A and B are shown apart, each in its own frame.
Chain A
Amino acid sequence: MAVKKFKYLSPEWAEEVVKRVNEKLTPEKMKHTTSSMLTVNTNCPDGKDRAVYYEIVNGVVKEVSIREGKMPQAEFTITADYQLFARISRAELKARRALMSGKMKLKGPLVKALKLSPLVDRLNEVIATIPAEY
């Protein structure tokens, strides 16, 4: 049976992220964290910039939505090229490594970001299980 593939950065893909993350990552695993994150994918294949907005409340992912144009405020904004984010979401590259390379830029308090980085790794591991088309 053919596996359904989700178009990366589509609303369906975002819905699948919420579903899988909340299935696999309990609030305990997410350390009951409350935060928000915007990952801005620059130079998408259609030439636009597109972001994923994550809202996490008490360890539960409440919202994952795709944003264009005016971006919402988030505690953390991570900006990188679309291809780089694609590699991270395929689990080919760790987000931390991308940050250390300087190719990915983080805006937000670094102390808290470092504290949350294992959670982001867990989140990305789950996202990487979603069959996606880029």
Chain B
Amino acid sequence: MARKPVSPKDPYFIDFPKRVKSVQAEMKKQGIHVYLGTRLRTMSWTTDVFCPWRSYIVIPPQGLPTAITFVIDAARVANDSWLGEEYVLGYGPMGGQDQITLLANLIQPHLKGGKGVVGIESGTGTYLPEGHITQYEYESLQKALPKVRLQNAHDIIDLLSMIKDEGTINRFREASRIVDIGHREVLKSIADGGYKGMTETEIAGLAAHAMRKAGSEWEWSFTGGNEIASGYRTGFAAGACTPATRKALKAGEPLTVDLHAMFKLALGDHAHNYLLGPATKRQKWHARNFVDMVKLCLRTYRAGISPSSLADKVLDFCEEQGFADYMVPGFEHGIGMTGDEWRIGLNDGPFPYWTNPEHKYQAGEMVICAIQYSCPEEKIGFRYENPILITTKGCEVMSKIPLAIEEI
């Protein structure tokens, strides 16, 4: 059974059959007979379902695709997807039901005389659950389909998913609204000395509870869900990854609260910072630097700029203001439906599978504005993250918590 059809009037409606047709049109242009997707981002973008197990999508030249996932989750995926159970298969350790046999059986009917080109998703990435085809899968598939040429084709999905449609953007707005609920709950709990005796994990948990109550499906990040850091942990050298620990919050220390929510596979990601009072003059100086720099960054985003031109402008400002030493020199990371969390744009930069620093932003693209300020020698750091929608004249900042570093 597939889920009930979503009305095109629904604010979160995405035309998935249209997405598939756009992939098929691109396949035709590139002479690809069948597209085999393995990346989590491809599964999310085509099936509209969270696929936590190793999964595949086989897109034929025409008609509906078939998703394959671990049998223990196949019925749930069919239930949650627009595809329905005929187009969702389960694999398992049984004769004829292993991944490679199922893939070969699905691909074979679309090849003339067993010959043809199959698009695959090969590469590397910083993000652990990326899901590129493995060497074993590649070799086994080639053995099962000896006359087939396996051709790397992930650019098709990367290109088509770059500009976000209205339904996707609305999902992101809702995910950010939920993240803001988490932030308000954290502030309520830590204010007026409420933080005393609390640990980072506790903060992560109470935010998660509030966001789940508001409809979040998952604190999606593989960086440990909600990332909470206090004291020296806010300022690791060149660091921007802080899974919550059992460290207790202490007066006089900074606190970074980086929350993640997921709504219909769209990702909320907002980091807000505090100074647990009493704050020193020097801490407040760092805080002002950070807020000024984030403001400048957000004012700068618009279609036509590139990550490197933005970095030049913001880093020049940091240098002028005397705090360039504390900057981690990167200001954003990519974002899309779950699984699409790192590279921005296409794989066309000087370092394969990293963001092209000269990528020209276009209206309708989304990124996470992600800025880290780190001063390990003073045991202080701040992080800003917020999903932004690039527009022709600026950007829409999705999390609405006012930009500030409050002294609690």
Contacts and interface: CB of A to CB of B under 8 A. Distances in A.
Interface of A: 79-80, 98-107, 109-111, 113-114
Give chain B's interface secondary structure class: mixed
25 contacts: A79-B96, A80-B95, A98-B95, A99-B95, A99-B97, A102-B95, A103-B95, A104-B95, A105-B95, A106-B94, A106-B97, A107-B96, A109-B89, A110-B71, A110-B74, A110-B89, A110-B92, A110-B94, A110-B97, A111-B74, A111-B75, A111-B78, A111-B85, A111-B89, A114-B92
A104 B101 CA distance: 13
Interface of B: 71, 74-75, 78, 85, 89-97, 101, 105
Q: Top 4 nearest A-B pairs by Cβ distance? A: A105-B96, A105-B95, A99-B94, A110-B90
A80 B95 CA distance: 9
B18 to A, nearest CB: 27
B95 A109 contact: no
A100 B94 contact: yes
Residue among B71, B74, B85, B95 with the highest chain A CB neighbour number at 10 A: B95
Nearest to A103: B95
A98 to B, nearest CB: 8
Contacts, number: 46
Contacts of A106: 94-97
Contacts of B75: 111
Contacts of A105: 95-96, 101
Nearest to A104: B95
B105 A107 contact: yes
A104 B71 CA distance: 18
A42 to B, nearest CB: 13
Contacts of B91: 110
A100 B93 contact: yes
Contacts of A100: 93-94
Contacts of B85: 109, 111
Contacts of A109: 85, 89-90
B197 to A, nearest CB: 49
A109 B67 CA distance: 12
A100 B95 CA distance: 6
Contacts of A107: 96, 105
A103 B97 CA distance: 12
Q: Which of B78, B97, B101 has the most CB of A within 10 A?
A: B97
A98 B96 CA distance: 12
Contact of A111 (B90, B93, B95, B101): B90
B200 to A, nearest CB: 41
A79 B89 CA distance: 19
Nearest to A115: B75
Contact of B71 (A79, A102, A111): A111
Contacts of B105: 107
B383 to A, nearest CB: 43
A70 to B, nearest CB: 18
A110 B66 CA distance: 14
A63 B90 CA distance: 28
Contacts of B89: 109-111
A100 B97 CA distance: 10
A101 B96 CA distance: 11
Contacts of A111: 71, 74-75, 78, 85, 89-90
B222 to A, nearest CB: 28
A102 B90 CA distance: 16
Nearest to A77: B96
Contacts of B92: 110, 114
Contacts of A113: 97
A47 to B, nearest CB: 22
A106 B96 CA distance: 5
B58 to A, nearest CB: 15
A107 B89 CA distance: 11
Nearest to A106: B96
A100 B354 CA distance: 42
Contacts of B96: 79, 104-107
B53 to A, nearest CB: 13
Nearest to A105: B96
A117 to B, nearest CB: 10
Contacts of B74: 110-111
